[in-house]
Chains A and B, each alone.
Chain A
Amino acid sequence: MRKYSITRKALRVYAAYNPKYFPLLFLQTVFNNLAPYFNLWMSAEIVTALYEARSKEEIYRLVLITLIGNLLIRVIGAALTRSVSTQLEILNNNEAAAFNRKTLSLDYEKLENPDIRQHRRNIKENAYINYYGVVHMRMGVGFILKDLISIVFALVLFVEMVSLIATIGFGWGSILLLVLLVASVTMNILCQSRHSKKVGEAWNEVGKLMLDENRLGRGYDLNGMDNRIYRQQLMMDKVSIATSKRHLETFTFANNTDVKYSIPVMFFQRLSEFVSYLIICFYCVLGAFPVGAVIKYVGYLANLTGSIGNLFYYMQEMEVNEKFLQVYLDYFDIKNDMYQGSLAVEKRSDRKFDVEFKGVNFRYPGAKQYALKNINLSLNVGERLAVVGMNGSGKTTFIKLLCRLYDPTEGEITMNDFNIRKYDYRQYLDIFSVVFQDYHLLAMPLGNNVASAANWDTEKAERLLEEVGFGERYSEMTKKLETPLYKNFDEDGVNISGGEAQKIALARALYKDAPFIILDEPTAALDPIAEAEIYARFDEIVGDKTAIYISHRLSSCRFCDKIAVFHEGEIVQVGTHEELLQDECGKYYELWNAQAQYYTT
């Protein structure tokens, strides 16, 4: 039984999302499977009564029991079905919440790790193949319950049949027939098991196909303009035709497999049915059972063999599903390995937080090359630092280390003389307002976006939006801060341009009012006028905060106190604009002139 250890573990985790679900499912399954057996039983009774020409009263009493019994089963079943659907929704809700919680509790480093992102995606994708994962498990449990209950009911009838035969006594004929029955039922089950296995394999192919189809849908989300101009459609057509062809082939194969392996199953099914008819007829003729038994004992047998076959199938599917459950469980087992400090970050009104990089080297997890080498730099309170350098020179990585989204591979970063690892992580994160290049706004009301919270300070939010140059667009928004952004959350949302999004992200960072403000290419999508406004108001906007400004537009260096020039992971120059320009062989001079030459002549 060790075999299903993963399933059992996953079931515990999953059932805990709503402990009421599975017990109710069990009850519902019992009631929904009761009706066929109840009706078989009652029909047999009625037919027998009619056949034996019993009294009218007795016959009608049986009819009434049948009718009322069915009604009761139906009503109770419906009530249970309703509860199960409600409890399932609660379960799904809690599971979704647990996923969110888990993902959001991951270290930032994990969130940037493509393997972990793929892991999360795999869980979703597995669900495309036969719902593999917890949903498959849930449904499998439901099916297995159903089959077990069926088998129990059927066995009761079987025992009844055998005991009735026993009253007549077993002759050679009856033993032969019973042996034949058991043999054909066994054959039927064996064939079903083989059928399940083969069909399961074929459906795995279908699952893979569906997964690929889904991936292709994601991968070939074409841009309408590019497609028309660069005729991407022609390639797309090739991919689609190949996929359609594969689709038909895979489904045909799966169904052919099903037909092929179904034939012996159907044969033994009918053979066992035939044998049981023989037994029933034989003993009916001998008078062991009433005529109604023809209905009863043949009906259950079809159910019994079907249920046993299904049971095999689902047990096997459960086994197949184990590896998908493992993926699910593994996600929840991802451990954060960042050290969580405990030192409280002092709330200082003077915002005196001095940060220093001391011989910091950094390599991304799994990378061979260092992204940062021997970084030594101190940031002083209220200073404006410009970080410049070519694409890939380590500018953004530097920021990520500063905010402790990653820990240095070697060396240390200190704040007010303590290693930043010693501070409480959440509190440390809270002293930074960052706008990364890959920032994302939420598709929610503007006010929520600016405040990053359920409620906002209208006066403050409006002032900041005005300050960052969003005022004009804002004045057109009739719902003001209630205006939803984008349309995927609220269809009344408004679309905003890249430049406007950048301004909102900037306002969000300012609203947080943290001692450090870090802006990574904050004006890339802005026009010269809007950019110049930000530049001109930069001091006012930033106030007494310590600011770090990353930009490819070197003009921004002019309003910073200090410039750090990054090149291939190292800081090659530090100084003021004037100082750095002195060095005509330096990187800064080269970068500056690449742009400035067009403006100075």
Chain B
Amino acid sequence: MKNDKKDQKKKYSKLSSLVWAMKKLARLDKLFVFFIFATVPVAVISPLVKSLFSKTLIDEIGAGKSFQNLVITAALFISAIFALELLQKYIYSRCKARRYYPTTIYQNEMGRFQNYETDFENTEKQDFKELCGYAWGDACQGNCAMEFLWEDLSNTLINLFGIVTFASFLLVLNPIVFAVIGVTSVLAYITTSWQPKYFEKHKKEWEKEERKKNYLQGLSDDFYNAKDIKLYGMENWLDKMMRDYQAYLLMWNKRCSLRGFFASALAGLMSFIQNGVVYVVLIGMLLEGEISVGDFVFFFGLAGGIAGYLQGIITDVAKLGVRADKIAYYRDLFGYESRFNRGQGCALPEGPVKIELKDVWYKYDGAEDYTLKGVNLTIEGSESLALVGVNGAGKTTLIKLICGMYTPTKGEILVNGKHIGDYNIEAYYSMISAVFQEIRMVAFTMFEFVASADLERETAREDAIAAMKAAGIWEKIENLPNGMDTHLQKGIYDDGVDLSGGELQKLVLARAIYKDGSILVLDEPTAALDPIAENNLYLKYRELTAGKTSIYISHRFASTRFCDRIVLLGDGVIQESGSHEELMAQNGQYAYMFGVQSKYYKEGEINA
């Protein structure tokens, strides 16, 4: 598995990744690409002009030129420097204004791909998750490979261009000087890369601890955890543990920074040698009368500049290599294969929908055992089905398959006689109204949250109100400051409110009712509701499911009483199927479970 991944990464060469990213960038923002390259000439010419200025002035003073002459020289050079400075300021400001902009777009594209475009199943796979982790880890503002490419590229060009230009002025010098500058620059680069290398090499020894330290340091930020910590008196233990991890990490910080110190000191030594040689050579030439004092100043400045460019270019090339590897993650991510049909699909069925599962097996990514082991099930159009079973029996997996979230590992699912894959998956989703167990508040308004599936509907607002009424949440929402235009979730928008678990459950029910899909799936929709609210849903259930194919999952066996058929899932297969009366008569697992739950509701003594 590991080797496969390595091979896959090699399928993109570094250069092709850089080109891929540049193309993407150019598509997003051509102006930006123009300005990136516009920085190059100005960045090289400016220091040259400044060096030339000092040289000229010193030479002219030395030559005993008149004050007027000097004034003219200074005026000319300073005007030139001012003009260049303005130009540079402008170009850089354009780059800076636009630099984070592409990242915001990449981030949205990635989020869209991950949360919407790719198969849901992919998002639960380990390798996909790792890929997302890498890509998102890189895609933060301030370090995004796609975004900082411009800086690296223009820096590389500046350095390259700088070396060529400066070197052409220094040709008069002894080639030994070049050799010394070259060698010391490379050595300085090697010494400065010492600490990062040490860091990379030993990273593993503290990565885990760092994660733990961060977890502990942030533990009280989330007041929910803080409450439990207080109730169970865990403060001191957690504090001590955090202190231990902090101390461990500090030890590594010291080790790393010690290397940093030595590297820095050695780099200092390199520049000691480099400058020493340059001084000796230049002073020698000066004493021989080959160059003027102005030349001395000029050449010394250029030599330092070249050394900087040399180190810069080594760093840039290394950086570009790293960026290219990071960009490969994005390419891998966007190239991740989906199995559902996202192109042209067959027409959606009109009227009731029949669902057939034929010998469906399902195994989760990385799991050893199958969760579903050959499920055969036909749900007739307009049939109302109750799905029961113990925790871990595979109920939720089954409905995720039906909802087009997973594809069967073996076997097939037919919807009105056609394979799910024959439909365009987005069109298929449009038939489904589902309430899943996990409910996440999103900072939409109540109306948007309920109506997001179809905001364009002409009667959207009336329908949303009707759905909220049916779900028993309208009374609460009506009384909010902005009614159903109040935002969900505190701390995002000013009018945001948090709903309780029971209220949220009603809200997601309203959403399913609003969507009015021909397949209705409810997974534990009453877990947080009180008996009266629960009963209200039961009483309305027939009305809600009229003309729809529906599946109801619940641990509350009361819910099975108003469904046409009950299917008991156990151990990955359908163990029992039939009406409540039939299954009670069978006296199997269903009858047992029903008995267990109902005994407390029956009159008389309870024998545990």
Contacts and interface: CB of A to CB of B under 8 A. Distances in A.
Interface stretch (B255-263, B370-378, B408-416, B541-549): B255-263
A588 to B, nearest CB: 10
A240 B227 contact: no
Interface string A519-550: 00000111111111001110100000000000
Contacts of B454: 231
B293 A47 contact: yes
A162 interface: no
Interface in B403-462: 403-405, 429, 432-434, 436-440, 442-444, 448, 452-455
B171 interface: no
Contacts of A291: 58, 61-62, 293
B408 to A, nearest CB: 17
Interface in A81-134: 81-82, 85-86, 89-90, 93, 96-97, 99-101, 103-104, 106, 108, 111-112, 114, 116-118, 120-121, 124
B531 A594 contact: yes
Nearest to A267: B82
Interface in B581-608: 593-594, 596-598, 600-603, 606, 608
Interface in B203-242: 208, 211-212, 215-217, 219-235, 237-242
A285 interface: yes
Given A74-B264, A219-B489, A528-B596, A390 B390 contact: no
A47 B493 CA distance: 64
A434 interface: yes
Contacts of A226: 436, 440
Interface in B15-57: 54, 57
Interface in A321-377: none
A440 B453 CA distance: 33
A266 interface: yes
Contacts of B601: 554-555, 592, 595-596, 599-600
B18 to A, nearest CB: 24
Contacts of B131: none
Contacts of A262: 89
Contacts, number: 418
B78 A273 contact: yes
A255 B93 contact: yes
A97 B218 CA distance: 10
Contact of A594 (B101, B279, B534): B534
A429 B230 CA distance: 9
A514 to B, nearest CB: 10
Given A74-B264, A489-B215, A529-B593, A295 B297 contact: yes
A240 B391 contact: no
B492 A244 contact: no
A552 B239 contact: no
A263 B283 CA distance: 40
B602 A100 contact: no
Interface stretch (B2-10, B103-111, B314-322): B103-111
A85 B75 contact: no
A86 B257 contact: yes
Contact of A390 (B107, B231, B530, B602): B530
B96 interface: yes
Contacts of A285: 61, 66-67, 70
Contact of B438 (A218, A223, A594): A223
B427 to A, nearest CB: 12
B492 A219 contact: yes
Interface stretch (B150-158, B270-278, B329-337, B354-362): B270-278
Contacts of A111: 223, 226-227, 230
Contacts of B100: 247, 251
10 contacts: A85-B253, A89-B250, A108-B230, A219-B492, A232-B452, A251-B97, A277-B78, A291-B61, A452-B232, A528-B597
6 closest Cβ contacts across the A-B interface? Answer: A219-B443, A555-B600, A598-B558, A74-B268, A599-B598, A219-B492
